[in-house]
């Protein structure tokens, strides 16, 4: 494996994990206070599961972005795919701010739908450039789809 690919995968993972870490800071204060008071559906996972799942997903998406980056920024399709990925990463962080920071699940629900669309868009582009990188997004799409249903349920129950 090329050193440049490893470096780009590490940089991608570190960037994604940093976004996750910042999101975790916003979330931390709301979990024991506001979030614990909400009515949640029976399928709501225990709080301890979110950290490991998000760590895995941020690492996977960062490695995947590194693989695409390795294909060459001189290629327009690579630049466009990574731009959509960057927008998605901002939307990912913004959902946490809306849901936990501002405590507005209704607005967060609208935002997570846009987030899910951007994930699908960049995944399709990643897949066209590198099939493995595209497939690496399947767990993320599944988790955000589940999170969308969870967000909707919380809005409905509260």
Q: What are the residue boundaries of the structural domains of the chain, listed by start?
A: 3-42+54-157
pLDDT band at 113, cuts 50/70/90?
very high
Determine what percent of the chain is predicted with pLDDT higher than 70: 99
Residue 91 class from Cβ within 10 Å (0-12 exposed, 13-18 middle, 19+ buried)? middle
155: pLDDT strictly greater than 90: yes
pLDDT at site 26: 86
Q: What is the average pLDDT score of the chain?
A: 96
DSSP code of 31? I
Instruction: Enter the pTM of the model.
Output: 0.94
The CATH superfamily label for domain 3-42+54-157 reads: TspO/MBR protein (1.20.1260.100)
1: pLDDT strictly greater than 80: no
Lowest-confidence region among 22-36, 95-109, 124-138: 22-36
pLDDT at site 150: 98
28: pLDDT strictly greater than 90: no
């Amino acid at each position: 494996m090329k050193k440049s690919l490893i470096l780009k995968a590490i940089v991608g993972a570190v960037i994604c994990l940093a976004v996750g870490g910042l999101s975790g800071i916003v979330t931390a204060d709301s979990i024991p206070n506001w979030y614990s008071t909400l009515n949640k559906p029976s399928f709501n996972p225990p709080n301890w599961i979110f950290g490991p799942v998000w760590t895995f997903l941020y690492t996977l998406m960062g490695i995947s972005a590194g693989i695409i980056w390795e294909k060459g920024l001189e290629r327009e399709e690579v630049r466009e795919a990574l731009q959509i990925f960057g927008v998605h990463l901002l939307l990912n962080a913004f959902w946490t701010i809306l849901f936990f920071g501002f405590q507005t699940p209704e607005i967060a629900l609208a935002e997570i739908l846009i987030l899910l669309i951007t994930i699908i868009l960049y995944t399709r582009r990643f897949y066209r450039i590198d099939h493995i990188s595209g497939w690496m997004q399947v767990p993320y799409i599944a988790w955000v789809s589940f999170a969308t249903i969870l967000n909707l349920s919380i809005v409905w129950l509260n």
